[in-house]
Structure 1
Amino acid sequence: MSDGQPGPPFEPPLEDFFTPESGVPSEVLRDACHGRSSLTCGYNCLFVNTPDGMAVIDTGLGASFLGYGEYIKPLVGQLEDGMTSAGLSRANLAAVVFTHLHQDHSRGSIWSGELTFPAATAYAHALEVAFWSGTVDLPQAQPHLEAARETIRLFGERLRAFEYEAEVLPGVRTLAAPGHTPGHSAVLLESQGERLLCVGDTFYDPLQLTNPSWATPWDLDLAASIASRRHLLERAADERLMVHAYHLPFPGLGRVQRNGAAFTWHPLTLGMSDSPAPTTEH
């Protein structure tokens, strides 16, 4: 379910995501993007019906957000409208699972100054909670600090700190994906023999599949984020997992295939059947 997806002319420039400081020289980016200059940035929240109740993985930016400029306010904060259309109630949501506590993943749960989902138990990695609760000096973390700390404060005792490889809800298991933030997590969903891998901010654009070593300015540990991306892409390709990518165009669902030492993204659009993709040996 989308919390919003700014389109042209409000799509962010690729050069904001892939910079010389994050290891992508300007000429390398120019040659790789083949004339494309912007990135379609979705905010794809995933609802999961578990035996313990309905859960959501990440919650979007929430309403009345101005952090990226006035233009963004009407373009995000749409999660509640989507829930209403789907017959879901904020009051009945049982759990919120955070891949990490950046504002575009957590603010939707606290944007009004109160809990958006008042009955929900929240889950975030222990390192994530510790990092945002402590002294945060990194400049690239500052825009997210207020929302992260408010999320921790408002959920209080109902925020459960997990470790990697924990089954936080039936069929909902956390996987290691550190680097973007200290406790950044992927989530593996399993039900009736089917699996879905939620990768959070492991990648923002298919360019990071064809260039897995590309990091972004928001990756706090560049080397760790690259290692996590390679590991998850390898697993997704080798196990033919359906993948949920938070920031790819809605609905952010697709599959990953190996292409030599790199990978390719094969999106699943709404209405398509999900037949296994053909494989090619390299």
Structure 2
Amino acid sequence: MNTTPANSPHTTAWTIGDATIHRIDETPLPPETGPWLLPAATTDVVTGEDWLHPDFADDAGTLRLDSHSFALTIGGRRILIDTGIGNGKTRANPAWHDLRTDYLQRLAAAGFHPDTIDLVILTHLHTDHVGWNTREAPDGTWVPTFLNARYLTSRVEREFWAGYPMDEPRRQMFRDSVLPVEDAGLLDLVDVPATGAELVPGVRLLPTPGHTPGHVAVELTSHDETALITGDCLHHPVQLAHPAIGSCVDIHPAQAEATRRSLLDSLADTATVVLGTHFPPPTAGRVVGRGDGYRLVPVLPVGW
């Protein structure tokens, strides 16, 4: 059993216009995650970027990574973006196996009881982004966690995995975290053109393919202020300095790199607040140009 402690008592939220975006922590990821996930982010590369220290990497060049979700109210809708790893699930990755966290209590403490969620947006269908889609019922079956919500992902994403030759761990993930939502009739597939798809006023899906074919980022706009939630088109701020650094689980590495470069170029030196789905605290920042790459200038949560 993998048990994690309660989160810091500080409020972890950012204000974008009339919207408040809450980070809902699940668990820090272990130090060995960085070398596995981003193998080109060597200690020499990481220590060479002094701005990564101490928040995004330690002095030895070990990356810090987290698993969390974002919850907000905008356009009259109560929205959760990605659902983490989940509790009590059989996983091949030891850091994800049989977690026991108080994620749902943290979600409720932020003002988002599971029964009040209207929309669950899934940036893509990877294990650490769909886990709390479901929870275990007393009879041992997996049932949707957010019974009053519509779950959304891109049509390209779902159709890709429908034809993909999955290994057993991925089939298990679909059995316990995706198929129960589909079987309950709660999953909607969204066509996301190159220009993006507006879900409700102020919420737009942007196609960011490469990590997976149907991956999307989520753009939030309120009163001319904008935030972007990355999903896994960016895993860690080191990729801002070195956009060529890709993930070992990118389905299409060249496309993933092209997406990163295009996205970062569009964000650089703008007021958009970028919130990384795996970025450790302070999690949010603005992208600024720096030499041949970029860096993240942190935007601290409200009250910090």
Q: TM-score range by the shorter chain?
A: 0.7 to 0.9
The reply to whether residue 116 of structure 1 matches residue 158 of structure 2 is: no
1:126 paired residue number: 155
2:294 paired residue number: 263
1:184 to 1:143, Cα distance in 2 relative to 1, 3 A:
farther
Distance in structure 1 (CA, Å) of the matches to 2:102 and 2:282 = 14
Query: Which is further off, 263-272 or 120-129?
Result: 263-272
Alignment of 1:5-154 (within 5 A): 5-6=27-28, 10-19=30-39, 24=40, 29-34=42-47, 36-65=60-89, 67=91, 68-69=93-94, 73=98, 77-112=101-136, 113-137=142-166, 143-148=169-174, 150-154=176-180
1:205 paired residue number: 236
1:196 to 1:148, Cα distance in 2 relative to 1, 3 A:
farther
Residue in structure 2 matching 1:3, options 20, 25, 33? 25
1:249 to 1:210, Cα distance in 2 relative to 1, 3 A:
same
Could you give the per-residue CA deviations for residues 54-111 of structure 1, whole angstroms, max 9, x where no partner exists? Answer: 110101111124523278655x643211122123211121110011011111111114
Could you give the per-residue CA deviations for residues 14-68 of structure 1, whole angstroms, max 9, x where no partner exists? Answer: 321233xxxx3xxx72421226343222122111213342110101111124523
Amino acid at match of 1:6: P
Report if aligned partners of 1:60, 1:77 keep a CA contact under 8 Å in 2.
no
Could you give the per-residue CA deviations for residues 138-185 of structure 1, whole angstroms, max 9, x where no partner exists? Answer: x6xx64443245444222232111122111122110111000011010
Distance in structure 2 (CA, Å) of the matches to 1:205 and 1:236 = 16
Alignment of 1:117-196 (within 5 A): 117-137=146-166, 143-148=169-174, 150-156=176-182, 157-164=185-192, 165-196=196-227
2:54 paired residue number: none
Report if aligned partners of 1:251, 1:270 keep a CA contact under 8 Å in 2.
yes
Structure with the bigger percentage of helix: 1
Distance in structure 1 (CA, Å) of the matches to 2:163 and 2:175 = 9
1:71 to 1:188, Cα distance in 2 relative to 1, 3 A:
closer
Ranges in structure 2 where 5+ consecutive residues have no aligned partner: 1-22, 48-58, 137-141
SS at match of 1:31: helix
Ranges in structure 1 where 5+ consecutive residues have no aligned partner: 274-282
1:246 to 1:132, Cα distance in 2 relative to 1, 3 A:
same
Report if aligned partners of 2:132, 2:177 keep a CA contact under 8 Å in 1.
no
Root-mean-square deviation (Å): 2.4
